[in-house]
Amino acid sequence: MKTAILHISDLHLTEFNPGNGRIPSRTISKQYYIEQFIHDTKEKLHDWDAELKKVVVTGDLANEGSRDDYEIVFKELTKLKEGFNLESQDFIIVPGNHDIHRGKNSSVHQDSDAVPKPEPNQFHDAKFQYFIKFYNDFFGNDFEPCKPSIIPFEFDDKKIAFVCLNSNYKESCMSKDHYGYLNLEDILKIESALLGEFKDYYKVAVVHHNPNLDSAEKSIKNWDEVKGSLNSMGIFSFLCGHVHTSENLEVKTTETNCFCSVGSFAKEDPEISNTSALLVYEKEESGVLFFKLERLRYICDGNGLYGKGAWDIDTTKYNKDIKIGKHGVKVKQCVPIISARRPTDILPETTGVEQAFLVEERNEQRIYSDEILSMVREKNAVLSGHFHWSDTSRSHGWIDTGSLLIEDRDIEIIGKAIFSVIKTKEVQFDGIVGLGMEGNILGALVAAATNKPYTYIPVPYRKAYNEYELYAKVNSKRILLLADVISTASTITNIISNTDYRFLSEAEELRVITLFFTGDEKRLKELYEKFENLRIYAICNEIKFGHCGKEPEECPIVKHKLEQIHEFYTKE
Ligand SMILES: [Zn+2]
Ligand SMILES: [Zn+2]
Ligand SMILES: [Zn+2]
């Protein structure tokens, strides 16, 4: 049976008509409305073989945010809960601007004798006084206006975290404050939880205002300020409310984010018809969950706007997949360079390895190789011993390349050497990536000289990569990677094979320039057979180190504890 999530919003429940042109909903209190909804929704779920597991309500539950309003809200949500055989804990609720009690907000602000007097919008507890009370009655726990809550949800073997954001930070009794706003300081309160405890969860934000609307009043005013932080916490998808109209209901998918608004569930407005949305789980693909969006619309049976009607599937263009991704919502295409075809059409099989290297006859490169060797001698940069970088990267020697990247003169020579390779090997590239800290210096050097897009991967040899590395990206088809030392090329293999790395997502060709290649050239031949659009060029190919056995126990030094082992990682 499939899993379904119900998304409703903007109920605007009240018995009080403010006479401000808005028509608050009383329809819902009529016996048939919610019963009809439950009945029709259940019928659709049955047709799709789906089971409703969660209900998301994205704000404006009340119309005036008053105590009386929430009595109705409580009653109607309880009907929904019982009608779908759910628990209170299956509801995910955030407040909207209509959940603020403006009268309370205004009087508390007026009565405040704080010096200097804060803006009215800063009286968060007063603003949400009755919402907080309702929240506690419904859930049995407190609503904190200035701290987002995280609600985990597991189904099948999928783990989702609903991240409930309060976008009413700047809303108040003053009309000048009528816009959506997310307080960055508040959002950062859950950063460690999202990157720690909920690291492996798919995250979806539940928020009243839709950040992706053109209208500043309806959208989130400081979106540019908070977007990066939300994305870096793994939040790329947003379920929103606040817009009641039939417009703006399209699912908007950008390069990395997905935004979905649902219209008003219960407002009596001649301009719109009420809607709800069902998200039916479909599949998981490359770190993205797909939910099929089915909107239900309330259509009256002809007895006027407020008459009896039925909920039916909206077959317009609005129905589209909602995507919830761990590292963005774009499904990464297979990176062409990982296709396993022999590189016969690029290089003759027998010369594949040699051609990738600087052939010795070319004087210029010979000179650079010698210059760098004398640099190594001068700095005593070659160290012997057992250097265990990771499970797959262990060698009996190490070049302290950092010591070669200190003096201007040395850096200049290395820079010239790199450009000599680019020139003689006719290396074409339109994006640059530095590998590791030293690779970052080399990469930045090339980027500064060529003015091409650049990023770097700080700790490339660890399997347990830093979160940052996954997001680093240059939108380039031909990427030049700069490294200081390559021995087994396990790092290169790792970053090519691991499609979680985004910087290769557009790549068709990968060229690597390394200061030193300390490994066995046979290994490269294997690598080229596997990755046809990869070439590695070494500036100095003369320092070679033995490689420790395939398993750590195979290294006799380790096995018999004969020598100091430099371990640069732990298994965890
Ligand atoms: Zn509303
Ligand atoms: Zn609203
Ligand atoms: Zn060893």
What is the 312 CA–ligand 2 centroid distance (Å)? 25
> Do residues 311 and 351 both lie within one domain?
no
> Do residues 144 and 272 both lie within one domain?
yes
What is the 460 CA–ligand 3 centroid distance (Å)? 20
Amino acid 375 reads M
Residue 225's region, left for phi above 0, alpha for psi from -120 to 50, else beta, is alpha
In a domain, 93, yes or no: yes
Ligand nearest to the CA of 168: 2
Per-residue pLDDT of 238-273, as tens digits, reads 999 998 876 677 788 887 899 999 999 987 776 778
Per-residue pLDDT of 85-100, as tens digits, reads 999 999 999 999 999 9
Q: For residue 130, what pLDDT band results from cuts at 50, 70 and 90?
A: very high
Q: Nearest CA to 51 among 85, 22, 24?
A: 85
Positive or negative, the CA dihedral 459, 460, 464, 466 is positive
Q: What's the pLDDT at 461?
A: 57
β-pairing, 258-261 vs 235-240, is parallel
Triad 117, 185, 329: Cα angle to 5°: 140
Cis peptide before 458 (omega within 30 of 0): no
What is the 401 CA–ligand 3 centroid distance (Å)? 20
Ligand nearest to the CA of 213: 2
Confirm if 487 and 524 have CB atoms less than 8 A apart: no
Average pLDDT of the segment spanning 420-428 = 89
Positive or negative, the CA dihedral 358, 359, 365, 368 is positive
In a domain, 572, yes or no: no
> Do residues 428 and 555 both lie within one domain?
yes
Please give, one letter per residue, the 3-state secondary structure of 448-495.
HHHCCCEEEECCCCCCCCCHHHHHCCCCCCEEEEEEEEECCCHHHHHH
What is the 106 CA–ligand 1 centroid distance (Å)? 21
Q: Nearest CA to 316 among 301, 302, 298, 295?
A: 295
**Residue-range definition of the domain harbouring residue 8:** 2-325
Ligand nearest to the CA of 97: 2
Average pLDDT of the segment spanning 142-166 = 97
- Rounded distance, CA 292 to CA 306, Å? 30
In a domain, 331, yes or no: no
> Do residues 381 and 482 both lie within one domain?
yes
Triad 488, 494, 499: Cα angle to 5°: 160
Burial of residue 106, with CB atoms counted within 10 A of its CB: 0-12 exposed, 13-18 middle, 19 or more buried: middle
What is the 463 CA–ligand 3 centroid distance (Å)? 19
Average pLDDT of the segment spanning 173-199 = 94
- Rounded distance, CA 62 to CA 97, Å? 9
Q: Which token pair is 154?
A: 């597991």
> Do residues 409 and 450 both lie within one domain?
yes
> Do residues 469 and 321 both lie within one domain?
no
- Rounded distance, CA 325 to CA 471, Å? 13
Residues 6 or more apart whose CB falls under 8 angstroms from that of 64 comprise: 14, 16, 18, 24, 98, 101, 102
> Do residues 67 and 211 both lie within one domain?
yes
Helix (H) or strand (E) holding 502: none
531 compared with 47, residue with greater pLDDT: 47
Residue 324 has pLDDT above 70, yes or no: yes
Of 109-123, 225-239, 355-369, 441-455, the least confident = 355-369
Instruction: Please report, for the domain that includes residue 135, its CATH number.
Output: 3.60.21.10
Burial of residue 378, with CB atoms counted within 10 A of its CB: 0-12 exposed, 13-18 middle, 19 or more buried: exposed
Q: Which token pair is 42?
A: 């259940």
Instruction: Please report, for the domain that includes residue 422, its CATH number.
Output: 3.40.50.2020
Confirm if 390 and 462 have CB atoms less than 8 A apart: yes
Burial of residue 77, with CB atoms counted within 10 A of its CB: 0-12 exposed, 13-18 middle, 19 or more buried: buried
| DSSP-assigned states of every residue in 154-176 | EETTEEEEEEE---BTT--SSGG
> Do residues 299 and 409 both lie within one domain?
no
CA distances from 570 to 388, 563, 566 (A): 10, 18, 11
Ligand nearest to the CA of 209: 2
Residue 352 has pLDDT above 50, yes or no: no
Ligand nearest to the CA of 207: 2
> Do residues 47 and 20 both lie within one domain?
yes
Confirm if 54 and 155 have CB atoms less than 8 A apart: no
In a domain, 165, yes or no: yes
Last residue of a domain, one of 299, 325, 351: 325
> Do residues 302 and 364 both lie within one domain?
no
Positive or negative, the CA dihedral 27, 31, 32, 35 is positive
Last residue of a domain, one of 305, 325, 345: 325
Last residue of a domain, one of 270, 300, 325: 325
- Rounded distance, CA 127 to CA 106, Å? 9
495 compared with 235, residue with greater pLDDT: 235
Per-residue pLDDT of 554-563, as tens digits, reads 777 777 777 6
Ligand nearest to the CA of 96: 2
Of 162-171, 242-251, 366-375, the least confident = 242-251
Q: What's the pLDDT at 409?
A: 87
Residue matched to tokens 């180190």: 545
In a domain, 427, yes or no: yes
Average pLDDT of the segment spanning 515-533 = 85
> Do residues 82 and 167 both lie within one domain?
yes
Q: Which token pair is 572?
A: 């965890």
- Rounded distance, CA 390 to CA 372, Å? 27
- Count of domains for the chain: 2
Average pLDDT of the segment spanning 79-85 = 96
Ligand nearest to the CA of 548: 3
Q: What backbone phi and psi angles, to 5 degrees, belong to 136? A: -65, -40
Average pLDDT of the segment spanning 410-434 = 90
Burial of residue 74, with CB atoms counted within 10 A of its CB: 0-12 exposed, 13-18 middle, 19 or more buried: middle
Q: What's the pLDDT at 347?
A: 31
In a domain, 330, yes or no: no
Q: Which token pair is 245?
A: 């109209």
In a domain, 315, yes or no: yes
What is the 436 CA–ligand 3 centroid distance (Å)? 22
Confirm if 368 and 293 have CB atoms less than 8 A apart: no
Average pLDDT of the segment spanning 10-26 = 63
> Do residues 363 and 238 both lie within one domain?
no
346 compared with 388, residue with greater pLDDT: 388
What is the 24 CA–ligand 1 centroid distance (Å)? 10
Residue matched to tokens 């700047």: 170
Secondary structure of residue 183 in the 3-state scheme: coil
In a domain, 49, yes or no: yes
For residues 47, 51, 53, 56, the Cα torsion angle rounded to the nearest 10 degrees is 0
CA distances from 146 to 59, 91, 123, 177, 237 (A): 16, 20, 11, 17, 21
